[in-house]
Amino acid sequence: MSAHILTVTQLNTYVKSVLDSDKNLYNVFVCGEISNFTNHYRTGHFYMTLKDEGASVRAVMFKSSNSRLRFMPENGMKVVTRGRASVYERDGQYQLYIDDMQPDGAGALSAAFEQLKSKLAAEGLFDDSRKKPLPKLPMRIGVITSPTGAAVRDIITVLGRRFPMSRVIFHPVQVQGESAAPQISAAVERFNREGLADVLIVGRGGGSLEELWAFNEEIVARAVAASAIPVISAVGHETDFTICDFVADLRAPTPSAAAELAVPDAVEQYAFLNGLLFRCRRAMENDFSAKRAHLKSLQMSRGLTSASALLESRRLLLDKLSFSLESSITATISSGKGGINYLAGKLDSLSPLKVLGRGYAIASKDGSIISGVKPISKGDALSIRLSDGSLDCTVDSVEFVDSVKSADSVGSVKEEM
């Protein structure tokens, strides 16, 4: 009996057909730990190995299946998978084709929540330094929520009661389902792009984790974090927390509480303004009273009640000062006259004319006075000034006299006729 020889392709095809025909392997649940995880960037398929303490198996999850996952698989994560066991004919590789996957122990949504929370926290989107303060008196309140839920009615009721002068700008969106997250993020972006509000309230009423999941989507978290308009997150009840709560500028436990936080109480504002008005009036009255008292004291002063007496005393003082000034001027002039007379007499005694009157003469040569005979030569023309006239003379001879014996220099002169 001859052996039937198979090609590798035939063998792999046969094994694949055997596995595919086994109903026990067509829809099998397998739990294990993920390792060698790869997210193929071109196809979007996930490739991995599932292992336990004794064995491992290759696995693949195609993009059409993994797009429904709420979390991102990671190495070391324990999961429960549902799929089918088969053979990849080209490589002869036995592997698991995964249709669905859930974290082992924790739900998929919880795992996705923690993954996104850790990611955004690492980027700093939860930091207090990024939080914007709410405006003191917002006049335009943007509300992003479902048009049919109780949340919008509660918000509008509270806003109308607390701050009726504000304007509510409502943008209806779906708050659960696949289209909810894109609608919420688009609404936040529109409010910012068109500058429609001073503060935003984003939220919905309570529900399960699945019903609130739109507010845990990354697209919503990034839109809220990027908003230039302050955002109040009001999702669910007081015990519910979403990613939107962490990135928002302020978290409110309920939509009604968000409305309370968004606007001030008009009654309190009126009371505050009335208090300011009362204090302003009191301050003005006190100031007027002080001014009246000061004016009254001025009216009772001596300068206003006895003006004639004040003027009389000032006139007497002026007369006294005038007399003192006149006396001082007279004394100064007399003193000046005496000094001038003394100086005039002294100047007169030193006058050259007085000297000439006593028999002295002044000799000059070429207009310059000479005091000795040294610069004089025989034949020089001299002018002699006397007390009653002058003489023009010619030097006949020059005789020097010893200065010790006589202080006079004598010259023989001849008068020209």
Helices 255-262 and 150-162 pack at an angle, to 10 degrees, of: 30
Note whether 165 and 216 are same-domain residues: yes
| Domain match, 407 and 313 both | no
What is the rounded distance in angstroms from the CA atom of residue 9 to the CA atom of residue 381?
162
Q: What's the pLDDT at 28?
A: 87
For residues 301-320, give the mean pLDDT: 74
* For the chain, percent of residues with pLDDT exceeding 70: 90
Residue 273 lies in a domain: no
Is there a single domain that holds both residue 258 and residue 233?
A: yes
| Cα–Cα dist 215/182, whole Å | 10
> Do 141 and 237 belong to one domain?
yes
User: Which of 52, 81, 105 is the endpoint of a domain?
Assistant: 105
Taking residues 214-229, report their average pLDDT: 94
374 and 319 within one domain: no
The one-letter amino acid at 242: T
Residue 406: pLDDT band (50, 70, 90) is: very low
**Cβ pair 187, 201 in contact under 8 A:** no
190: pLDDT strictly greater than 70: yes
Residues 160, 203 within the same domain: yes
* CATH number, domain with residue 163: 3.40.50.960
The residue written with tokens 């697209």 in the block is 219
Residue at which a domain ends, from 237, 262, 287? 262
Same domain? For 83 and 172 the reply is no
Cα gap 230→248, rounded to integer Å: 8
Domain harbouring 61, CATH code: 2.40.50.140
Reported as a single tens digit per residue, the pLDDT across 240-262 is 789 999 999 999 999 999 999 99
* Residue 153 pLDDT > 70: yes
pLDDT value at position 116?
87
Express as a percent the part of the chain with pLDDT over 90: 34
CB 375 within 8 A of CB 397: no
Question: Residue 303's pLDDT band (boundaries 50, 70, 90)?
Answer: low
In a domain, 221, yes or no: yes
Q: Give me the pLDDT at residue 210, please.
A: 80
Residue 88 predicted with pLDDT over 70? yes
pLDDT at 400: 78
State residue 208's pLDDT score.
80
Least confident of 117-131, 141-155, 245-259, 276-290: 276-290
pLDDT tens sequence across 10-66:
888 888 888 888 888 888 888 888 889 998 878 889 999 998 888 989 999 999 888
The highest-confidence range among 5-9, 23-27, 214-218, by mean pLDDT, is 214-218
pLDDT beyond 60 at 68: yes
DSSP symbols for 111-177: HHHHHHHHHHHHTTTT-GGGPPPPPSS-SEEEEEE-SSSHHHHHHHHHHHHH-TTSEEEEEE---SS
Residue 83 lies in a domain: yes
Residue 291 lies in a domain: no
Q: Share the mean pLDDT of the chain.
A: 85
Number of domains observed in the structure of the chain: 4
Residue 417, pLDDT above cutoff 70: no
Q: What is the pLDDT of residue 218?
A: 93
Angle of the 180-194 helix axis to the 218-226 helix axis, nearest 10:
10
Within a domain: residue 121? no
| pLDDT computed for residue 276 by the predictor | 87
Q: Is the pLDDT of residue 236 over 60?
A: yes
The answer to whether position 250 is within a domain reads: yes
Q: Is the dihedral of CA 11, 15, 20, 26 positive or negative?
A: negative
What is the extent of the structural domain holding 34?
A: 8-105
Averaged pLDDT for residues 336-353: 76
On whether residue 213 sits in a domain, the answer given is yes
Judgement on whether residues 327 and 228 belong to the same structural domain of the protein:
no
Helix (DSSP H) and strand (DSSP E) numbers for the chain: 13, 15
Lowest mean pLDDT among 224-228, 331-335, 408-412: 408-412
Could you give the C-alpha distances from 178 to 104, 187, 188, in angstroms and in order? 25, 16, 17
318 vs 367, residue with greater confidence: 318
Tell me: do 162 and 206 sit in the same domain. Answer: yes
Say if 386 falls within a structural domain. Answer: yes
Is residue 66 located within the same domain as residue 147? Answer: no
The pTM of the full predicted model, rounded to 2 decimals, is 0.52
Q: For 107-128, what is the mean pLDDT?
A: 86
pLDDT greater than 80 at residue 295:
yes
pLDDT at residue 2 greater than cutoff 70: no
What is the token pair recorded at 149? 């839920």
Q: Are residues 221 and 322 in the same domain?
A: no
Same domain (yes/no): 95, 147 = no
Is it the case that residue 394 has pLDDT exceeding 80?
yes
